[in-house]
Structure 1
Amino acid sequence: MHYQGVLTKMKTEFQEPVHYYLLFESDFIHVNQLLDKHIHIEFLRYQCLACGKNKKIYRQGYCYDDFFKLPQTADWVIRPELSTAHLDQEHRDLAYEKSVQLKPHVVYLANSSNIKVGVTRKTQVPTRWIDQGAHEAIEILEAPNRFLAGITEVALKAFVADKTNWRKMLRNDIEDEDLFAQREKLKGYIPKEAQDYFISSTQETHIKFPVLRYPTKLKSLNLEKTPSFDGVLKGIKGQYLIFEDDTVFNVRNSEGYVVSIKVST
């Protein structure tokens, strides 16, 4: 089987285990079906997800010029507390910013390598947790806009991490935590403006990933440095492909790369 296309973040279906898909312009790969198969990946060129040109990718699948002008790459995306659409103030494109920032957002606790606090649009639950490689997660509050969720995250990350240790996550070096107890501890630190949005009754979400064998010594595949790679796929977790020789490939970090993928048994 031979596929070719530009890489974008793998799409997921919340099943047991999670189902993963690579979508190309005229084809798709159900990645779960590639487990235990030999895969050849070859980097061909760049293709910016905005302008479509063969320009070196800067971040998130975009070339340098597009990254610094597109509304979906503005600072408020990474730092929700900088959102201003609720004040009718524009960063780059007010219509776009309103369409995202003025929707319900969830503040959550997720456990991938450690407990972390995060923010996502309500429509991205549980996709966001899957992408982070979290095996369990729980909602804390549902705010009516991104700003309120953002200031809540800022307040809570003084007491709990806001980053994932991707190495521990991929080694499956994890511990089950009492997310309910942690949530109750944090409840008193929610900013006054957001306290009414606390979710009093909720349940944990548990996620299982399609992994046959977890790696021990991780080696990251960088397609710019290693444009041709061969390996047997042993697992998929977060947005990573895990290979038999402990090589791990972050698909999301390679958005905008045009690749050729050949699969053999």
Structure 2
Amino acid sequence: MQYQGVLKKMQTENTNPVNYYLIMGNDFLHMNQLIDKEVHIEFIGYQCLACGENKKIYRQGYCYDDFYKVPQAADWIMKPELSKAHLDIEDRDLAYEKKVQLQPHIVYLANSSNVKVGVTRKTQVPTRWIDQGAHEALEIVEVPNRYLAGITEIALKEHVSDKTNWRKMLKNDIEDVNLIAHREALKEYIPEEAKSYFIADNDETHIHFPVSKYPEKLKTLNLDKTPAYDGVLKGVKGQYLIFEDDTVFNVRSWEGYVVRISLL
């Protein structure tokens, strides 16, 4: 059976374990059902997520030209503290920026390899944590716009990491920690503008991933260097496919690439 389509990040359901779906054109693959089965992945071409043309992907699923034009790739996406829609100031597309930035945002703690602080729209909870491969997470601040979330993250990352060690996450080299205790320790560092939005009475969210075997010595699948690959799928964590030979494939890193997937 073959499927062909442009890669986009997998859709998820926070069940136990998480259900993963890879959308392929008008069809989809339920990745959980492919665990312990042999899969063939073959690079076919490109399809920019903005213009739809077969142009080499530059970053985040976009061709070079569109990466520097579309609001979905603007600097405030990765650096929320640069958001300006609350000031009625346009970056690339004020209507889009208002739609995304002027809605409730969560500053959270997540543990995927270590405790880290992060920002996401409220509507993306718990999807954001699943995509990061976090096995536990906790909301600590809920603010009305992206800018406030960004400056809160900036303040807190002076005291806790804002990075994930993806190798430790994929090896499941993790430990459970008391995120509530971390929240209380960080409370005093929240900026004055966001202190009133502190969340004091919620519980941790725990996430379980569909993995039957974790890798020991990681090898990353690079479609530019290896346009065709066969492997037995052993699990999915974050946005990574994990294979029996310790190869891992980050679906999100290859957005905009058109692939053919065959079940062998």
- Give the TM-score normalised by structure 2: 0.99
2: CA distance between counterparts of 1:181 and 1:128?
22
Report whether the alignment pairs 1:158 with 2:158: yes
2: CA distance between counterparts of 1:76 and 1:169?
26
2: CA distance between counterparts of 1:170 and 1:200?
31
Deviation at residue 217 of structure 1 after TM alignment: 0.0
Alignment-mate amino acid for residue 211 of structure 2: V
2: CA distance between counterparts of 1:234 and 1:113?
20
1: CA distance between counterparts of 2:145 and 2:26?
36
Partner of 1:33 in structure 2?
33
Deviation at residue 24 of structure 1 after TM alignment: 2.0
2: CA distance between counterparts of 1:218 and 1:92?
39
1:82-101 mapped onto 2 (5 Å cutoff): 82-101=82-101
2: CA distance between counterparts of 1:93 and 1:26?
30
Extract unaligned runs of 5+ from structure 1. Answer: none
* Secondary structure at the counterpart of residue 42 of structure 1: strand
Report whether the alignment pairs 1:226 with 2:226: yes
2: CA distance between counterparts of 1:149 and 1:52?
32
Partner of 2:171 in structure 1?
171
Partner of 1:126 in structure 2?
126
2: CA distance between counterparts of 1:147 and 1:258?
35
Alignment-mate amino acid for residue 147 of structure 1: Y
Identity among equivalent positions (%) equals: 74
Q: List per-residue Cα deviations over 1:100-123 (Å, max 9, x = no partner).
A: 000000000000000000000000
* Secondary structure at the counterpart of residue 86 of structure 1: helix
Extract unaligned runs of 5+ from structure 2. Answer: none
Deviation at residue 26 of structure 1 after TM alignment: 1.2
Partner of 2:10 in structure 1?
10
Deviation at residue 25 of structure 1 after TM alignment: 2.1
Q: List per-residue Cα deviations over 1:113-157 (Å, max 9, x = no partner).
A: 000000000000000000000000000010000000000000000
Partner of 1:48 in structure 2?
48
* Secondary structure at the counterpart of residue 99 of structure 1: helix
Alignment-mate amino acid for residue 148 of structure 2: L
Partner of 1:21 in structure 2?
21
* Secondary structure at the counterpart of residue 159 of structure 1: coil
Partner of 1:189 in structure 2?
189
Deviation at residue 97 of structure 1 after TM alignment: 0.2
Deviation at residue 88 of structure 1 after TM alignment: 0.4
**What count of residue pairs does the alignment treat as equivalent?**
264
Q: List per-residue Cα deviations over 1:15-73 (Å, max 9, x = no partner).
A: 00000001122111001000000000000101101111111101110000000000111
- When the two chains are superposed, the root-mean-square deviation of aligned CA atoms in Å is 0.5
1: CA distance between counterparts of 2:118 and 2:62?
24
1: CA distance between counterparts of 2:183 and 2:88?
32
* Secondary structure at the counterpart of residue 22 of structure 1: strand
Partner of 1:116 in structure 2?
116
* Secondary structure at the counterpart of residue 188 of structure 1: helix
Partner of 2:210 in structure 1?
210
* Secondary structure at the counterpart of residue 225 of structure 1: coil
Report whether the alignment pairs 1:135 with 2:135: yes
Partner of 1:104 in structure 2?
104
- Give the TM-score normalised by structure 1: 0.99
2: CA distance between counterparts of 1:2 and 1:46?
18
Partner of 1:241 in structure 2?
241
Alignment-mate amino acid for residue 26 of structure 1: N
